[in-house]
Amino acid sequence: MAKKTVLDFQNMKKSGEKVVWLTCYDNPTARLMERAGIEMILVGDSMGMVVYGYAGGTVPVTMDQCIVHTEAVRRGAPNIFVMGDMPFLSYQTTPEDAVRNAGRFYKEASVDAIKLEGGRRVVKMIKAIVDAGMVVCGHIGLTPQSSGQLSGFKAQGRTAESAYELILDAIAIQEVGASFLLLEAVPPEVGKFITEYLKIPVYGIGAGPYVDGQVLIMHDMLGVFEAFTPKFVKKYANLAENMVKAFEDYAKEVKESKFPQKEHCYGMIEGEFEKMMELVKKKLV
């Protein structure tokens, strides 16, 4: 599978072909996603919830954590378009900080793009990153890093006024040179309008079926993360139950001395056990 480029994704928008992407945070899973034909991976700051279990959600996630996980994903999926997620306060302070931290993703983790949250209030940061030669994906709608200002994890753009503000954000993000836009938790009508209005690809997580592609958090769609499930998630598996059953079976077999069996053990080379016993008799007895 050849890794897709920004131009490929633009052509897919024009032709109406949907883009498939998921979040990922580790090397083995990235390898499986490449085998499955996933076209784009976001190493999301959602790791704060689904990997680290932070009470503060995505806010406590650091640049160093994001870099380490993105490096692992990149090694596992060399042929997938990998996007690094800019964590809280890695870009909101100054355009210089934004460029420096975005550059870390490129230099240390070999990403193909970075994503950052916010609309018109972060366009200076987006423009600075783009002007430095990097590919940017904007992110508006429900933006978890600023969920406190949004009164929690709630859908956005459900009134005419708030939807119009999202449209203005989307236009501003495109105008400063972003290559993609991610819409999160907005009504399908809003997703459809923004997708058709913008020239850049528009992707959705809970933004309806009319966007140019879909992304889900891996732990949600696999049924691994059980703390809560957003309305927009479809579970394609229920691995949590399978994992608990496997852990229970393993514990039972260990307690009952049913594991390991002979087929799980290494054998000594023929005749070496007798030699070992001779050494024991000479040295230890």
Which of 17, 117, 184, 241 is catalytic? The answer is: 184
CB-neighbour burial class of residue 132 (10 A; exposed 0-12, middle 13-18, buried 19+): middle
- Rounded CA separation 167/170 (Å): 5
* Cα dihedral sign, 30-31-36-39: positive
* Alpha-carbon torsion angle 154, 157, 159, 164, nearest 10: 150
Active site residue 184: yes
Known catalytic residues are 184
